[in-house]
Chain A
Amino acid sequence: MSDYRHVTRRDFVRDGTLGALALGAGLTAAASAAPGGRDKSLVALVRDEKALDAANAVDKAILKKMLDETIKSVTGESSAAAGWKKIIKPDDVVGLVPTTAVNPTHPELVEAVREAVLEAGVAADRVQDVQRKKDLAAKCTALVSMPALKVHQLTGLGTVIKNYIMFSDNERSSYHMENNGNLGEVWNMPTAKGKTRLVLVDTLRPLFHGAERRPSPQYFWNYNGLLASTDPVAAETIGLTIIMAKRKEFKGETWELTPPPFCVEAADKKYKLGTSDPNKIALKVSGWEKDLLLST
């Protein structure tokens, strides 16, 4: 499906694509827990039960360990330092792209990544937060996309693919509702094209419903995780699967995501940014296993 203008619910029911997942009609194949081969995109998920305290404050030491483990897992290196050197080169101009709205990326995570990039040999004046700063982003040679996992009432999902929306010259509303399928085009615009070295999704406290400026607290939960991949679509697909499982757990029945996040499948099929096929994703999970919400 590449043209979403005439799409109906019945199309999803018929073709069983990611839209079907968002509508609860279901993909049956789960991402495999096997190590990634050449034909599979590796997604690393690291969780720690104690990453957040009772007041939802981040334990920085635990977060640092989680980040190190995530980088080792996603790069296959034996140390986080070696892993970061595989991702970032000392002469890179690095842009960090956290989420700032609705469910902001935890600042402790942004700071931990900045420190890791500095330790990888990049000069301090070559590392900056470029979210909503298109001109600065355009000068970067490497981007680390680090959105927080969340739904969005106008795009279905508002995490990985949507994270670069501010790099577009188009009106934000041009990507809302059915047009969320076009979000992938921003990744192919000169500001971002080919620059994303790592997608690191803050899944410490995701948002599974509502997308107000200040969402209702009942729709956040402590998942205490970090999700990472060099394939943005694979990372988004796993995030979507977690969100749909949480929504089902909350309602006791399938709770459809509306509008359907066309952006996930379109990022794969139309914009060729990665894979949305669970059969082509290798998921590597480590740490806390309770309430994983994923079949591995």
Chain B
Amino acid sequence: MAAVEEPTRLSAPAEVDGWKVVSAKGLEVTPKTIFDYMNGAGEMYLAYEFRGLQVWTYGGNEDTTITVEAFEMGAPEEAFGVLSRDFEGKDVKIGQRSAYVMGFLQFWQGRWYFRILGDLETAESRRAVLALGRAFAAQVPGEGKEPEILARLPSGGLVAKSVHYFHTQICLNAFYFFAVENLLQLTRQTNAVMADYRLGSESAKLLVIQYPKASDAAKARATFLKGYLPELPVSPDPIQIAQIENGEWVGLRLEQQFLALAFKSRSRDICERLLKAANLKRGGKKP
């Protein structure tokens, strides 16, 4: 039996730009204690192979603080996935990808995801937040790979900040609600990516799911059709499209172990084009 790898520990710089760490040891949070630390919000981290969290507080000259949260995930793809929940903000080129807005910096590097948040954004706190980001990013050696399934998304019309990478139903329901039941048969073993598209005046969402086996994908298509689009029979056609009550179109494409869904669109044509453009053959292309 393989030994369980101990979580890695990062070190907090004692001082950055005049902001001093309150306790160098900081707070350590484990998968067992994550709910004590953040209540139900811990569910989302566990869905991305959460392994451990270190938290430090920095104090400045005024009565303000900056909190650093360093999340260690099971793999780089998981760290990317956590960040992909919300890319809103400016990429300030810290770590492999970052988002900064109003005193709040988040980024991923390797299998780490960081959140650095000042109480109140000032010029001083902004400098310190960014400096802390660079200091922590430098502690993570090397870069991690983005999830391979991202290459299945067609590039034309893709809204880059809308990309979400995930595995399970709890995440899907946090991004888009289809149904209470797990109609798409999502598990820890499925990889999924969802994104918004703008094509001219039309828009749509595209979801691509990779199942362990082609038979799993076929079963998921069947349960989705039965539970969500009962007007469509299971058919040998790889692409099926239907219009629902509010005028929106929903389409599916089954290709080996991949299932793609185009939805939330007023255009049948856009749904069909997106489904056909999804790179579901072997290899795929980088979006």
User: Which of B88, B117, B179 meets A7, CB within 8 Å?
Assistant: B179
- A102 CA to B41 CA, complexed, in Å: 9
Question: Is A222's beta carbon under 8 Å from chain B?
Answer: no
- A residues 1-47 in Cβ contact with B at 8 Å: 4-10, 13-14, 23, 25
B43 x A173 contact (CB < 8 A):
yes
Q: A212: which B residues are within 8 A, CB to CB?
A: 38, 41, 115
A256 x B177 contact (CB < 8 A):
yes
Nearest Cβ distance between residue A99 and chain B, in whole angstroms? Answer: 11
Nearest Cβ distance between residue B85 and chain A, in whole angstroms? Answer: 9
B181 x A5 contact (CB < 8 A):
yes
Q: B88: which A residues are within 8 A, CB to CB?
A: 216, 218
Q: By CB atoms of chain B within 10 A, which of A10, A13, A23, A56 has the most?
A: A10
- A178 CA to B39 CA, complexed, in Å: 18
Q: By CB atoms of chain B within 10 A, which of A173, A212, A256 has the most?
A: A212
Nearest Cβ distance between residue B254 and chain A, in whole angstroms? Answer: 20
B89 x A218 contact (CB < 8 A):
yes
- A55 CA to B122 CA, complexed, in Å: 10
- A217 CA to B125 CA, complexed, in Å: 14
- A153 CA to B86 CA, complexed, in Å: 12
- A residues 183-217 in Cβ contact with B at 8 Å: 210-214, 216-217
Question: Is A176's beta carbon under 8 Å from chain B?
Answer: yes
Q: B176: which A residues are within 8 A, CB to CB?
A: 256, 258
Question: Is A260's beta carbon under 8 Å from chain B?
Answer: yes
- A216 CA to B103 CA, complexed, in Å: 9
User: Which of A8, A177, A210, A256 meets B170, CB within 8 Å?
Assistant: A177
B181 x A6 contact (CB < 8 A):
yes
- A225 CA to B208 CA, complexed, in Å: 42
Q: A176: which B residues are within 8 A, CB to CB?
A: 40, 43, 170
- B residues 98-157 in Cβ contact with A at 8 Å: 101-104, 106, 115, 117, 120-121
- A155 CA to B177 CA, complexed, in Å: 12
Question: Is A240's beta carbon under 8 Å from chain B?
Answer: no
The bracket for how many chain A residues form the interface is 35 or more
Across the two chains, which residue of chain A brings its CB closest to B263?
A9
- A153 CA to B177 CA, complexed, in Å: 12
Question: Is A65's beta carbon under 8 Å from chain B?
Answer: no
Nearest Cβ distance between residue A101 and chain B, in whole angstroms? Answer: 5
User: Which of B41, B43, B120, B180 meets A55, CB within 8 Å?
Assistant: B120
- A176 CA to B245 CA, complexed, in Å: 28
Q: A214: which B residues are within 8 A, CB to CB?
A: 67, 69, 115, 117
Question: Is B246's beta carbon under 8 Å from chain A?
Answer: yes
The bracket for how many chain B residues form the interface is 35 or more
Nearest Cβ distance between residue B68 and chain A, in whole angstroms? Answer: 11
A213 x B179 contact (CB < 8 A):
no
A-B contact count (CB 8 A): 104
Question: Is B18's beta carbon under 8 Å from chain A?
Answer: no
Question: Is B244's beta carbon under 8 Å from chain A?
Answer: yes
Q: A173: which B residues are within 8 A, CB to CB?
A: 40, 43
User: Which of B86, B115, B174 meets A259, CB within 8 Å?
Assistant: B174
Nearest Cβ distance between residue B118 and chain A, in whole angstroms? Answer: 9
A154 x B120 contact (CB < 8 A):
no
Across the two chains, which residue of chain A brings its CB closest to B88?
A218
Nearest Cβ distance between residue B204 and chain A, in whole angstroms? Answer: 13
B40 x A8 contact (CB < 8 A):
no
- A residues 229-271 in Cβ contact with B at 8 Å: 256, 258-260
Question: Is B238's beta carbon under 8 Å from chain A?
Answer: no
B39 x A102 contact (CB < 8 A):
yes
Across the two chains, which residue of chain B brings its CB closest to A260?
B177
Q: A56: which B residues are within 8 A, CB to CB?
A: 120
Q: By CB atoms of chain B within 10 A, which of A8, A9, A152, A178 has the most?
A: A9
Across the two chains, which residue of chain B brings its CB closest to A176?
B40
Nearest Cβ distance between residue B202 and chain A, in whole angstroms? Answer: 13
A153 x B41 contact (CB < 8 A):
yes
Q: A25: which B residues are within 8 A, CB to CB?
A: 246
A216 x B173 contact (CB < 8 A):
no
A4 x B180 contact (CB < 8 A):
yes
User: Which of B44, B67, B169, B178 meets A8, CB within 8 Å?
Assistant: B178
B86 x A210 contact (CB < 8 A):
yes
Across the two chains, which residue of chain A brings its CB closest to B40?
A154
Q: B102: which A residues are within 8 A, CB to CB?
A: 216-218
- A192 CA to B131 CA, complexed, in Å: 48
Question: Is A50's beta carbon under 8 Å from chain B?
Answer: no
Across the two chains, which residue of chain A brings its CB closest to B39?
A101
Nearest Cβ distance between residue B252 and chain A, in whole angstroms? Answer: 15
- Can you list 27 residue pairs at the A/B interface with Cβ under 8 Å? A5-B181, A6-B227, A8-B228, A9-B228, A10-B244, A13-B245, A55-B120, A56-B120, A152-B40, A153-B44, A153-B174, A176-B43, A177-B170, A177-B173, A210-B86, A213-B41, A214-B117, A216-B86, A216-B88, A216-B102, A217-B121, A218-B102, A256-B176, A258-B176, A259-B173, A259-B174, A259-B177
